[in-house]
């Protein structure tokens, strides 16, 4: 067998998100795109802001834009701009050397984990979690430790405390959260800071690609300020609708110990994982457009439209404050079965089990409002059938 045991195992159990996405493609080919209601993938449908596209074009055409290799950490002037932006937004003082450009947040997560994990080191994540975290940890010999969230789908500090062992190397947090859309309040960060005071070798990895997708003036606390031994991993995938362009960055917090060695490790990991560097043109675009963003009110309107449909049907969900997901309680215990019933109505959602959390399903509402409204009758019928 040419394929490794691990990959064979992974492909059997891997992503429900992808599975549903592929099922959606099949249904669309069979019934026509307009008759399928696909909420499976967090793939932003909004076009990037005009300013971003214009910058992309003018930088691509400029004779002054080189297309070759640059330092593995990224262009110095881009790291400078990003460090100024992060310093302002997170209210900390970071230098350009604290920033390493990455191939999206996914690339950045792998670079951080590659840089810190010894074999069997443990990484704690809080369910429900972004499914790729397990693979990212295991990619680098780490052991993935999943703990359940606490009340209201927020991290439970006692559970985190109990899960920490002498092998724990990192805690991954994700706010605004995929799949719940919850934003962690400040007290969670203060609690983490106090907890980590007892564990000087544990790093907080804050995966924050949805940081700028928040609604109703919800404020996101600064993890870098409150938990100085933390690192932010983020990207332009969601807030600039550039998911396919693979651009993001890692920002190392002011309290990361042996910072220089850590940054050197990030840079080397970027190289030897085969990324070499983040995409050259997109680095420059991000440097120019870091203050831009898509119109979050569009997602807010969709969220509100979806919520009123769920309220009308009487389905419980976690009220999302950010990102573009609704995590909805399945009307029956078996979330996979609920998704199958939804499929009969040509509605695609992802079972909670795909996020390490049974009994719920995730709907990604980064789709046109007509898709949301179009799904309402089928959703109603599916729930009525299951409740009958
Ligand atoms: C929580 C979370 N982290 C990371 C990623 C990866 O994003 P990127 O496209 O920046 O690699 C995603 C993508 O959906 C996500 O939801």
For the chain of 388 residues, list the mean pLDDT of each consecutive stretch of 10: 90 72 84 92 94 96 88 98 98 98 98 97 98 96 97 96 97 98 97 95 97 95 96 98 98 96 98 98 97 96 98 96 98 94 95 94 97 97 91
**Cα–ligand 1 centroid distance for 305 (angstroms):** 24
Structural element, H or E, at residue 180:
none
pLDDT at position 66, please? 82
pLDDT at position 84, please? 98
User: Do 276 and 72 form a contact (C-beta atoms < 8 A)?
Assistant: yes
**Cα–ligand 1 centroid distance for 107 (angstroms):** 9
Domains of the chain in sequence order: 5-48+294-387 (3.90.1150.10), 66-289 (3.40.640.10)
Q: Return the best residue to mutate from 17, 20, 45, 104 for the ligand 1 pocket (most ligand atoms within 8 A of CB).
A: 104
**Cα–ligand 1 centroid distance for 235 (angstroms):** 8
- Model confidence, pTM: 0.96
CA gap 1, 12 in Å, rounded: 16
Structural element, H or E, at residue 335:
helix 335-344
Q: Return the best residue to mutate from 209, 278, 282, 365 for the ligand 1 pocket (most ligand atoms within 8 A of CB).
A: 209
CA gap 230, 214 in Å, rounded: 22
pLDDT at position 325, please? 98
What is the tens place of the pLDDT at every residue in 139-164? 999 999 999 999 999 999 999 999 99
pLDDT at position 85, please? 98
**Cα–ligand 1 centroid distance for 43 (angstroms):** 10
Residue 196's CB: how many other CB atoms inside 10 A? Answer: 21
Give the position, in ligand 1's atom list, of the atom nearest the Cα of 234: 10
Residue 80 phi/psi, 5-degree rounding, is -60, -50
pLDDT at position 281, please? 96
pLDDT at position 164, please? 98
Q: Which residues line ligand 1 (CB under 6 A)?
A: 42, 104-106, 130, 174, 178, 207, 209, 235, 237, 243, 248
**Cα–ligand 1 centroid distance for 130 (angstroms):** 8
Strand order in the sheet with 350-351: 325-329, 360-364, 350-351
Q: Return the best residue to mutate from 16, 39, 106, 176 for the ligand 1 pocket (most ligand atoms within 8 A of CB).
A: 106
**Cα–ligand 1 centroid distance for 380 (angstroms):** 31
Give the position, in ligand 1's atom list, of the atom nearest the Cα of 108: 11
Closest residue by Cα to atom 13, ligand 1, is 42
Report the b/e string of 113-129 with b at 16+ CB within 10 A: bbbbbeeebbbbbbebb
User: Residues 6 or more apart from 302 whose CB is under 8 A from it?
Assistant: 324, 365, 366, 367, 369, 372
DSSP string over 110-169: HHHHHHHPPTT-EEEEEES--THHHHHHHHTT-EEEEEE--GGG---HHHHHHH--TTEE
What is the tens place of the pLDDT at every residue in 314-339? 999 999 999 999 999 999 999 999 99
User: Do 194 and 167 form a contact (C-beta atoms < 8 A)?
Assistant: no
Q: Residue 74: left if φ>0, alpha if ψ -120 to 50, beta else—which one?
A: left
Give the position, in ligand 1's atom list, of the atom nearest the Cα of 248: 10
Q: Return the best residue to mutate from 180, 206, 237, 273 for the ligand 1 pocket (most ligand atoms within 8 A of CB).
A: 237
pLDDT at position 223, please? 98
CA gap 220, 174 in Å, rounded: 11
């Amino acid at each position: 067998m040419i394929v490794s045991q691990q990959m064979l195992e992974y492909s059997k159990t891997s992503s429900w998100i992808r599975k549903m996405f592929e099922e959606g493609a099949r249904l669309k080919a069979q019934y026509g795109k307009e008759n399928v209601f696909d909420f499976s993938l967090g793939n932003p449908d909004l076009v990037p802001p005009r300013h971003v596209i214009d910058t992309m074009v003018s930088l691509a055409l400029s004779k002054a834009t080189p297309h070759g290799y640059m330092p593995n950490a990224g262009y110095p002037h881009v790291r400078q701009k990003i460090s100024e932006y992060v310093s302002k937004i997170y209210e900390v003082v970071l230098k350009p050397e604290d920033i390493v450009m990455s191939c999206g947040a996914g690339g950045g997560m792998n670079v951080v984990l590659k840089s810190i994990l010894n074999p069997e080191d443990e990484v704690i994540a809080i369910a429900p979690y972004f499914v790729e975290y397990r693979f990212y940890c295991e990619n680098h010999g780490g052991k993935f430790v999943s703990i359940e969230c606490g009340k209201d789908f927020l991290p439970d500090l006692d559970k985190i405390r109990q899960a920490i062992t002498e092998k724990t190397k990192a805690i991954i947090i994700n706010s605004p959260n995929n799949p719940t859309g919850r934003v962690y309040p400040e007290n969670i960060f203060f609690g983490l800071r106090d907890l980590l005071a007892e564990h000087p070798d544990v790093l907080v990895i804050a995966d924050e690609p949805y940081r700028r997708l928040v609604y109703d003036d919800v404020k996101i606390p600064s993890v870098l300020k409150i938990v100085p031994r933390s690192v932010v991993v983020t990207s332009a995938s969601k807030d600039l609708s550039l998911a396919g362009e693979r651009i993001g960055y890692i920002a190392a917090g002011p309290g990361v110990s042996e910072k220089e060695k850590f940054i050197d490790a990030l840079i080397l990991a970027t190289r030897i994982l085969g990324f070499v560097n983040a995409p050259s043109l997109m680095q420059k675009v991000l440097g120019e457009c870091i203050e831009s963003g898509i119109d979050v009110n569009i997602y807010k309107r969709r969220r509100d439209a979806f919520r009123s449909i769920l309220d009308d049907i009487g389905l419980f969900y976690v009220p999302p404050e950010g990102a573009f997901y609704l995590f909805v309680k399945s009307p029956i215990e078996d979330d996979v079965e609920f998704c199958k019933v939804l499929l009969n109505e040509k509605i695609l959602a992802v079972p909670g089990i795909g996020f390490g959390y049974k009994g719920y399903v995730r709907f990604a509402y980064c789709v046109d409002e007509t898709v949301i409204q179009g799904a309402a009758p089928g959703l109603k019928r599916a729930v009525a059938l299951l409740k009958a």
